[in-house]
Amino acid sequence: MLAALAYLSGCASGAKMENMVYDGPLKQYDTHLADNMGLTKVSGGEETNPAWTSEIDDDAFSGALKESLTAQGLLSDNGRYQLEVVMVEVDQPMFGLDMAVTTHIKYILSDRENGNAVVMDETIAAQYTATLGDAFAAVKRLRLANEGSGKANITALLDKLSALQIDPGEISLTQ
């Protein structure tokens, strides 16, 4: 019985960066954002304890975000617009057949050439559910749900950025 329990539980591993990268089509962005965004800091993530549960750490999420922004033609080392990211909360189930994870991530985009004026300050909540059909082991289902939720959150950020209109004297989101 202990061997079966060990097999079903396994060791937890953290969310993998490559599984959180947005891989959808190229979106349209305001020309002011093109190759003009820097990523200043990603914080709030947690390291995974292999004896406990899968988590999303800062490095994995930062790497996924950098790759996603680069693929969309937005990331620059010396970008005028600076993005700060705070993982506010990651809602995870303790157990279950379907593992639904919701990430709550705050994105703050500021204009460093305009006194660090805040261009966008949004907290995005994104959910993803991994089912028994995705993975038999609960620890793997939770990791897949973490990755799926992280990817969904990055996708929602890219949607927000594509709706952002920047004019020299005015900044707004299109509806």
87 beta partners: 105
Domains of the chain (ranges, CATH numbers): 27-167 (3.40.50.10610)
Question: pLDDT tens digit string along 127-161?
Answer: 999 987 878 887 889 899 999 999 999 999 999 99
Q: What is the model's pLDDT at position 10?
A: 63
Q: What is the model's pLDDT at position 3?
A: 37
Of residues 9 and 153, the one with the higher pLDDT is 153
> Which amino acid is located at 57 in the chain?
D
Dist. CA 53–CA 135, nearest whole Å:
15
Phi, psi of 74 (to 5 degrees): -105, -35
Dist. CA 100–CA 81, nearest whole Å:
33
Question: pLDDT tens digit string along 63-114?
Answer: 999 999 999 999 999 899 999 999 999 988 877 788 999 999 999 999 998 8
Q: Among 32-36, 46-50, 64-68, which is the least confidently predicted range? A: 46-50
Q: Report residue 172's pLDDT band, with 50, 70 and 90 as the boundaries.
A: very low
In percent, the amount of the chain with pLDDT more than 90 equals 62
In percent, the amount of the chain with pLDDT more than 70 equals 87
CB 146 within 8 A of CB 105: no
Dist. CA 125–CA 90, nearest whole Å:
9
3-class DSSP state of 57: coil
Average pLDDT, the chain: 87
Arithmetic mean of pLDDT, 58-66: 96
Q: Report residue 169's pLDDT band, with 50, 70 and 90 as the boundaries.
A: low
Asked whether the predicted pLDDT for residue 22 surpasses 50, the reply is: yes
